Structure 1
């Protein structure tokens, strides 16, 4: 039998997992976290209504809006809307309770169960008083926002007259013909309202005692107070603020919004998430400040919608809150060897964006991972935001060091960079690689390649570029490649008419490095156009293939030339099968007159106004 899992069970799992993380301090999520994140529960049934009769209550409802519901559970309570007990279940959207006594008040709630066995929260409660003579206000609803309500009336077939009143003495009320439905106006003022009814049969027999039904009239929502507990003290991410909104009535929706910060923060009145007492009309939350919030003396606005959708006027807390945002961490780049690779490491990092309240960079290091302020050695404090490099000296040869940069602001808040490590040089440098002649791919890209390094302590290839010969590691770093099998890199960002020089330095795990031979490439003032990307042809029928490609965006575009062959590679020495000129936006062509069930190969060349051209990738397509 499939086990039904309720939303409360999942809530307890999530709370238990959260407590586990808090107490144990573990970074690994318990299984309950995944359950809590992945489960989607069905919504509870809505629009509950009742029809009362002699020792019977008919309950009807609407299907939930979410989930594939296969079962509804029926819960009942006698006398008061508390301590609900399941009495039955059904697959229908109505249920007849025949185990009731006339004259007693019964309350009902329902829940929905979906195909996966997940059970919704219980619906709102509805009440009914079965009787030979009986009335039901608003189909048994507990609350109404309107004084005008519908009253459902039940009586024997020989009932001729009825009299309704808001007063048990029936003062000023008049008899009227019996009907099964009446529109009635409740007395003034919010609160519990009772409607009384008496009946008279066609033989003149009057019913006794009068029957009655009650409902709570709720025509307005108010916010009594909104508070927060910072007492003017600044807060930061990860700390808590306790919000409290007193609405004076339960079962509503209360939120607070921080001016210039998070909006519509949901508060609770169910005894969880910092709420002190469940269902007391006071909505609370222990709010954990998320990352990225930065507000100064911000107003806190409270909003409230009650159980019958009355909307209260917004209210503001008397105090204001300040949340300080820690500075954005900098990025610590992979360290480079210093001039003395055995004893020095050069650190480089991104510049802090804290232009207004920057205080300092603090450099920490140690010979074990996970550097912190507490366990690391303070190397240096730099108070100039624009200084983003530092050479650490007096290190031991052949030793691995781990580094972090802390950025602090004028308020004392700080953030740590990523951790980077470097190993000082040992005695033997790595084997150099040989660079091949660079290939000018197009106007803005140069393809570099080199032989593979096979040293067992290989750490990385580092590609350096300069505009003059004799490239060193002080030149512009273009790439760091961590896999020895990756022996190619495409560079970009050139100035036309300029000659660039390259070297690939092999770094080992000790930080020693060896440079390759030096190669150079000249970027012409007019380089070939940027090639397009040709898509796989689409067969239209047995004699036609449709070609499409990306659009060339060069300013000196002239035309597209399309080449075709029946074997690979495509022969581009002869004339093209088509030329599309003047319109770079025309990026498709239908090749016709082909042989059925034949495979064809294509390339599209872009030609610029100077006659330079670049070819696309090669693709193949087959007619039907």
Structure 2
């Protein structure tokens, strides 16, 4: 690993030494790992990391890579993780001492950019200022290309899934992946560009909050509402030196679920002829009730051909699972089917037909 040591002199009476490590660029083997495929694009290394002490802060300056290690252009800006650590007595970096002090999502890189470079100011630990003059700090900057979560909308849940991150290397020694934290926020739908997953300019109805901890690399969100816009992000959780540590946010999955799911098909449709008033012939229909929470009603269709749906009778929706058709004519044979409709206007496929033969007189 390449590196150099810089001794900086403060205007105050405290001096600190800063070791800049050029640079550790990892992806897919983080500490902890962002949920991502095992072989995502690897950003090119940072080669111009510099550091300057400014009072009780350290100013880090570097160029964010725009291409992969193989020279291909990155589809989006990588996230940045700033680590601070110390040295062993022999002057080599103590990998176990490095702690994540800040994460800059790629979407927020502009907020830390000046003159074309990333500039980050790290406040030094206050307890070190009077008690540890001459302390040497080592910094590592890790970049990682984000991969989107997979999100699938079903009738009862928004199903999220993501590949398991890989942990490896000296930076991750002794760390164990124990699960994930799923975060969800609600966005202002009208202010969102649906082609972009950049949340830096997002307008939140409710900011992201922890939705649920999970042990596996999938989660089903059943507490959503159709028509609202949600942004999901996932963080890996590892145990490092006995403490739980979260990764950076994954790239967001932005979902506006639409209710395109029809109710269940009505079952057990029965049709029977019964005598009506003044000798009028009537067909009595009944079927099993639907139990969907967004159920709106039923439609009954009548046809004189077994392979056609026919026309609705009556036109309006029926709220109960029964209907009496008094518009039938003697000497005809009818086929009835029933559909269910929800409040979004989704209509189920027709039920199995039920036939009634009025060509014979009533007994």
TM-score (norm 2): 0.35
TM-score (norm 1): 0.23
* Bigger RCO (CA 8 Å, 6+ sep): 2
Larger Rg: 1
